[in-house]
Amino acid sequence: MTGDKRVFTVGGRPLHERLAEQLPRHTESVLAELTRRIPAYRLLPGEQLAGDITRIIQHTLKSFIGVLRTQRLPEQGEVDHLRESAARRAEEGIPIDIVLTAYHVGFQVVWESVTPEVRPDEVADVLAVNSLILRYLERVTPAVGAGYLDERQTMSDDEHSARYTLLSALLDGAPADAERTGLPLPPCYLVLAVAMAEHPDEQREGVDPTVAGRRKLRRLRVELERQTGGPVLASLTPRGGIALLPAEGPPEELGGRDWERLARTVTDVGRAAGARVTAGAVAAAPHGVAAAAATAREVLDVALDFGRPPGLYRLDDVLLEYQLSRPSVARDRLAALLGPLDGNEELLQTLTAYLRHGGRRPTAAALHIHPNTVDYRLRRITELTGADPTRVTDVALLRAALAARASSE
């Protein structure tokens, strides 16, 4: 402001003098109200409340008293002090909305303590001070927010760097290097090789597919961290990648409930991402993560190659397909069994559907054809291959032949 400085009065006295004289009492009142209204402040140690938190309350009140006296907003040095305080709150893990709320609570407490003494001829001063409070908050809250977010970004960058270093060391088979990152190693990792289908937005006209893919990936990451309840090591793109989830016990102690829980997690993160998620999973101690990751990728590839639905797959779930995907004379002989069906997609489609659904009527419904058509095609398959899909003893052979054919294509 320019020109003569205005003296704001309340109860017949300059407001800046009243606040300066009552600074200790106002400081105590603000601290009490913060701990009463904001649970996060009640969790702070007593020495911190009596030390750093009390000092920043006093500093802020003194800063505003100076504004009342001079009608000038805080200089950069005062703002920097508040910015540093916000950085400390970020280190303590206090959410930013609570940090910013504390400033508003503090002004509310102080202002409500003096306004009952306002005289009728001081209403104009009260309105002017209200405006000054808003301008003061407009000056300091962006700085507080920036200080907080800068510190959080630094912390995030450091943590991300440490996590990436740990992940790289584990995937390289170097647990000794992993230990040097400073991050604790759990007894076991659930190693996931992940494949993500496209979100509908990635194919929608007028939507940037790159942006849509990043949104999908961000939702998956957030849900994966929430479900896991611990630090997840991950190298993921919108198409998939590798994720290591910490587990509390050694691999050999994992039971059916643990794998069921992980299967639900995969389903939930897919739902959160808005895209189908398929994952190959292997449990391993830290020193075995590299080999486990290779196996998890192979399990995932088998599940995808053989048209398995989205979800979680372990090696036990795809044993036959996995074995048949390994090159061998037996695999080639099995694949050759269906050679007579080459070029006849209707017969191959019918055989696949019949073995999947286990009956002529379910197969007919799945293919939208008459059951008699299914019977005709099954007879043709038998004539051409010598194996009867309706004969129990031939079903396993035909399943294996389909698996071998798929893996050799």
Residues 312-350: pLDDT tens digits?
A: 999 988 887 787 777 777 778 888 889 999 989 999 999
pLDDT at res. 2: 42
Q: Nearest CA to 268 among 218, 311, 232?
A: 311
Residue range 40-50: mean pLDDT, rounded:
77
Q: Nearest CA to 189 among 228, 135, 136?
A: 228
The rounded distance, in Å, linking the Cα atoms of 375 and 113 is 89
pLDDT higher for 391 or 305? 391
pLDDT higher for 275 or 53? 275
| From 148-162, 181-195, 302-316, the region with the lowest mean pLDDT | 148-162
The rounded distance, in Å, linking the Cα atoms of 375 and 388 is 11
Ramachandran category for residue 94: left, alpha or beta (phi over 0 → left; psi -120 to 50 → alpha)? beta
pLDDT at res. 3: 45
On the question of pLDDT at 396 being above 90, the answer is: no
Contacts with 106 (C-beta within 8 Å, 6 or more apart), sequence order: 30, 33, 34, 57, 60, 61
Tens of pLDDT, residues 211-264: 888 889 888 988 998 888 777 898 888 899 999 999 988 999 999 999 999 999
Global pTM exceeds 0.75? no
- The CATH topology of domain 328-408 is Arc Repressor Mutant, subunit A (1.10.10)
Reported confidence tier of residue 178, pLDDT bands at 50, 70, 90? low
The rounded distance, in Å, linking the Cα atoms of 201 and 270 is 15
DSSP 8-class letter at 251 = G
Residue 13: alpha-carbon gap to chain centroid: 55
Dihedral Cα 174, 175, 177, 181, nearest 10 deg: 140
Tens of pLDDT, residues 58-86: 888 998 999 999 888 888 877 888 888 88
Reported confidence tier of residue 402, pLDDT bands at 50, 70, 90? confident
Residue 226: other Cβ atoms inside 10 A: 12
On the question of pLDDT at 400 being above 60, the answer is: yes
pLDDT at res. 248: 87
DSSP 8-class letter at 288 = G
Reported confidence tier of residue 179, pLDDT bands at 50, 70, 90? low
Reported confidence tier of residue 367, pLDDT bands at 50, 70, 90? very high
Rg (the chain; Cα; Å): 34
Q: Cα angle at 145 between 47 and 216, to 5 degrees?
A: 115
pLDDT at res. 177: 67
pLDDT at res. 1: 40
Residue 373: alpha-carbon gap to chain centroid: 49
Residue with token string 């760097």 = 161
Does 9-154 carry CATH code 1.10.10?
Answer: no
Segments making up each domain of the chain, as ranges = 9-154, 187-323, 328-408
Q: Quickly list DSSP for 213-244.
A: HHHHHHHHHHHHHHHH-SPPEEEEETTEEEEE
Q: Nearest CA to 285 among 319, 336, 251?
A: 251
Average pLDDT, the chain: 87
pLDDT at res. 22: 92
On the question of pLDDT at 358 being above 60, the answer is: yes
pLDDT higher for 323 or 389? 389
- The CATH topology of domain 187-323 is Alpha-Beta Plaits (3.30.70)
pLDDT at res. 157: 64
Indicate the helix (H) or strand (E) that contains 190: strand 188-196
pLDDT at res. 278: 96
Helix axes 123-171, 289-305, angle to 10 degrees: 90
Q: Cα angle at 63 between 59 and 66, to 5 degrees?
A: 140
Helix axes 123-171, 54-70, angle to 10 degrees: 140
